[in-house]
Amino acid sequence: MSRFEEILIIMAEDLIAGCRERGLKLAVAESCTGGLVAACITSVSGASDVFDRGFVTYSNAAKVDMLGVGEDIIARHGAVSEEVARAMAEGAIENSDADLSLSITGIAGPEGGSDDKPVGLVHIAVARTGFETLHERHVFKGDRERVRVQAVESGLRLLNQVAGN
């Protein structure tokens, strides 16, 4: 295991402990990370105490069908946008038993970027019942794998923050 992977697992351990302590259930909705956040969380023994489910919504249809993201939101803003990230996070709570959720949508590359939405653009949102949904926009550097890992790290960091860790 690399040092970076160890850091992600430590972040997941902290998240699980914080959620357990506060009685929070957790869900994730992932697009460009394809389940990597859920994999980090579930690699920790005892994750089942707090982890309810993960949604891998790689296609626009999956975002609509599984999370209730409005087709109009995707048409107006694109799948890689603040609006869709927020809708994904909120939809993960609405479609699970979770109190806290993370969403990640982005362009990992190497194809798919544009002037407005470059490769490495990632939108992350965290929703928590009773709180305002938070959003972060990042443009990560590196190859596809590096972009995805940086997105996981940023997502876990924001989840820990919102969980009160």
Of 140, 129, 91, 105, nearest to 33 by C-alpha is 105
Mean pLDDT of 16-41: 97
Mean pLDDT of 118-140: 98
Tokens of 69: 């993201």
Mean pLDDT of 116-143: 98
Q: For residue 91, what pLDDT is reported?
A: 98
For the chain, the maximum distance between any two Cα atoms, rounded to a whole number of angstroms, is 44
- To the nearest whole number, what is the mean pLDDT of the chain? 96
Mean pLDDT of 15-24: 97
Which domains are present in the chain? 3-163 (3.90.950.20)
Tokens of 12: 């997941």
Mean pLDDT of 140-153: 97
CB distance 106 to 146 below 8 Å: no
Q: For residue 129, what pLDDT is reported?
A: 97
Say if residue 2's pLDDT is above 90.
Answer: no
- Sheet with 100-106: strands ordered across: 51-56, 26-30, 100-106, 121-128, 134-139
Of 118, 109, 94, 119, nearest to 144 by C-alpha is 109
Tens-digit pLDDT profile for residues 42-54: 999 999 999 999 9
Q: For residue 125, what pLDDT is reported?
A: 98
Tens-digit pLDDT profile for residues 68-117: 999 999 999 999 999 999 999 999 999 999 999 999 999 999 999 999 99
Spell out the residues 6+ positions from residue 15 whose beta carbon is closer than 8 angstroms to its own.
Answer: 26, 41, 156, 159, 160, 163, 165
Say if residue 5's pLDDT is above 90.
Answer: no
Q: Calculate what percentage of the chain has a pLDDT beyond 70.
A: 99
For every residue of 75-128, DSSP letters joined together read HHH-SSSHHHHHHHHHHHHHTSS-SEEEEEEE--SSS---SSS-TTEEEEEEEE
CB distance 29 to 105 below 8 Å: no
pTM of the model: 0.97
Q: In angstroms, rounded to a whole number, what is the distance separating the alpha carbons of residues 71 and 33?
A: 21
Mean pLDDT of 16-29: 97
Q: For residue 1, what pLDDT is reported?
A: 66
